[in-house]
């Protein structure tokens, strides 16, 4: 699942590279959905479903432990303190991510906004269901090898901002 797929180039590339894996792309903006639909047609993707509404309406309807990876690429940072409550990374959303991920599954967050990176690092590693298995800073400065650069990553680099790639693992559930 990719939450906020933007123009869809990343999730389309993932779906094309992994035809035996099912994908759900979630995006509220019509232009992003239209862009992804062009990729679906161009690459003849049959393993990708699109949810074109607020993902918070979909998450409770999904089966527990049904995803091996959930990605949140370059979410709106809501940089002002009074807007912090609107950020996707929050305890209730981390609870949902943990519920939806299989044991050992990944929750990936990419951002070029220092406030959002700091916010994410204040919340996700403290969540009891997630590990942040990082060994050194280089691990979160390099895009995962199985990913492609998105339009948002390229915009950040062009503007001189450094993208950060945070990968959290779902801890095993207690029996």
Catalytic residues: 76
Helix (H, G, I), strand (E, B), or coil: what is residue 88? coil
In what helix (H) or strand (E) does residue 109 lie, and over which residues does it extend? strand 101-111
Cα torsion 172, 66, 25, 170 to 10°: value is: 0
Please give the full DSSP string across 130-142, using - where no structure is assigned: EE----SGGGGTS
Secondary structure in 3-state letters for 45-85:
CCCEEEECCCHHHHHHHCCCCCEEEEEEECCCCCCCHHHHH
């Amino acid at each position: 699942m990719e939450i906020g797929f933007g123009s869809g180039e990343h999730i389309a590339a993932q779906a094309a590279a992994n035809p035996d894996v099912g994908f759900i792309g979630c995006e509220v903006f019509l232009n992003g959905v239209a862009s992804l639909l062009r990729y679906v047609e161009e690459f003849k993707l049959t393993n990708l479903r699109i949810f074109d509404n607020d993902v918070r309406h979909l998450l409770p309807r999904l089966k527990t432990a049904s995803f091996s990876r959930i990605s949140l690429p370059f979410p709106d940072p809501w940089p002002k303190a009074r807007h912090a409550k609107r950020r996707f990374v929050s305890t209730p959303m981390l609870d949902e991510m943990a519920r939806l991920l299989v044991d050992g599954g990944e929750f990936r967050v990419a951002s070029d906004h220092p406030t959002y990176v700091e916010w994410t690092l204040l919340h996700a590693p403290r969540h009891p269901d997630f590990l942040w298995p990082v060994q050194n800073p280089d691990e979160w400065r390099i895009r995962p090898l199985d990913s492609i650069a998105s339009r948002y990553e390229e915009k950040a680099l062009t503007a001189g901002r450094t993208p950060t790639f945070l990968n959290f693992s779902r801890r095993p559930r207690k029996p």
